[in-house]
Structure 1
Amino acid sequence: MEEKREIPSTLRTILAVDAYLTNAFVNWAQQFLALRQLKTHRTFLKISCHSILWLATNLVLIWAFNKSDLYQMQVNLFIGLLLDIILVAVLKAVARRRRPTTNDNLSLKKDSFPSGNAARVAFITYFLLNLWPIPLICVPPLLAWSFSVCMSKLLMREHHIVDVLAGIALGIFEGMLIGYIYLERETCTSLVWWITDEKISGAEYDV
């Protein structure tokens, strides 16, 4: 049986204030139709930033396009996504903060801090704005998507405000860390070729 942790009074007060402000903010935000509609699209928003989807899609694109010009972006993005999964899992295991008690979501995921979705969209947004800049015309949709994902987690009462803010901060930190260790193009190309060389050779010669 899991032993119940003793939470310091100061931290307990902060968590209580956070829960109160989250509830008040959600009640206020639901007055606006544009924000209420985010609840309608919650499934799409949740799937759109799912870690497995991004990892799998990235691998498929590496295999399908097989363009050396994209290897650097794809490999560094893949490393960042793996880093995000690890850091979020570790922090949730350490914090063990439960989701809002008013959450009627049937999700089996009970840990709330930090928001993994918020961390992921923040990392992807940072990556596509700073490390591999996308065309300017794509920036507004990217920011709208990031905002919508984070806001939907609050409106669905799956996270508290601090959970989402911590997730955003974590995602930005991940982006900065990947930027610091950003692998060179030659290294990324070598990694892709090392992983796929045997399969490519088999496809060429095993005819």
Structure 2
Amino acid sequence: MTEKRKKPAGLQKVLAVDAYLTDAFCNWTNRFLAFRSLRTHYKILEVSCHGIPWLCGWLAFIWIWDQPSLYQMQVNLFTGLLLDIIFVAVLKAFTRRRRPAANKADMFVTVGPDKFSFPSGHASRACFVAFFFIKLWPVHFILTLPLLAWCTAVCLSRLLLRRHHILDVLGGVLLGILEGLLIGWLWLSQETSAWAISYISDERLEGGSYHV
């Protein structure tokens, strides 16, 4: 049998303080918020930023909304969503931090490394999406505040649902921003994006092998 990995004493202290502060924050917040009545809302936020609905929904959006002017946005965001899932899975498998003790086993579709806590995949995905539509493919300014509000609400809900510790969420926020910067650096051209979409919906593109 392999020996259980031991954490450095300094890291153990940091994680212990993080767990204490997370618990104190949640207890303090719940003095002002009716947690039981809001838990349904937190769960809705959880589903709204889950990887599976985002990937499936975005593929459906690419298939249904056939607009050449949107190809770059569609492909680059989808690339970022895939990278986010890969990065989060690798980091969780490496760190293997346990979720808060108060977490309930009622999460929406957990697979493999999802049982671990660091970093928060919901926080990274929410921040990446917000970064994407604010910096990389700016939406109308009217939508900016709702987008930021959703992103903030998702991050806070991860704490109030006791899914993550504070450092897990902060790590997810940082990861999401770094993913946005990476996608901005790797930004795929219109031609490359159209070529990629041709594999998803070849007969829908002018000149595709099945085009009539």
TM over 0.5: yes
Task: Specify the alignment match of 1:13 in structure 2.
Answer: 13
Q: Which moved more, 1:45-54 or 1:114-123?
A: 45-54
| Amino acid in structure 1 at the alignment position of 2:134 | L
Q: Counterparts in 2 of 1:46-85, with a 5 A limit?
A: 46-85=46-85
Task: Specify the alignment match of 2:149 in structure 1.
Answer: 144
CA displacement at 1:204 relative to structure 2: 5.5
Question: Any conservation in 2 of the 1:105–1:158 contact (CA below 8 Å)?
Answer: no
Matched, 1:120 2:125: yes
Task: Specify the alignment match of 1:24 in structure 2.
Answer: 24
Q: Which moved more, 1:67-76 or 1:193-202?
A: 193-202
| TM-score between the two structures when normalised by the length of structure 2 | 0.89
Q: Counterparts in 2 of 1:55-204, with a 5 A limit?
A: 55-107=55-107, 109-198=114-203
| Amino acid in structure 2 at the alignment position of 1:41 | H
| TM-score between the two structures when normalised by the length of structure 1 | 0.91
Any unmatched runs of 5+ in structure 1? none
SS in 1 for 2:118: coil
* Per-residue deviation, residues 174-199 of structure 1 (Å, max 9, x unmatched): 00000001011121112212442257
- 2:8, 2:62 → 1: CA distance? 48
Question: Any conservation in 2 of the 1:38–1:152 contact (CA below 8 Å)?
Answer: no
Task: Specify the alignment match of 2:40 in structure 1.
Answer: 40
Question: Any conservation in 2 of the 1:19–1:160 contact (CA below 8 Å)?
Answer: yes
Identity %: 53
Would you say how many aligned residue pairs link Structure 1 and Structure 2? 205
CA displacement at 1:33 relative to structure 2: 2.8
Any unmatched runs of 5+ in structure 2? none
* Per-residue deviation, residues 92-145 of structure 1 (Å, max 9, x unmatched): 000000001122334454200000100100100000100010111111111111
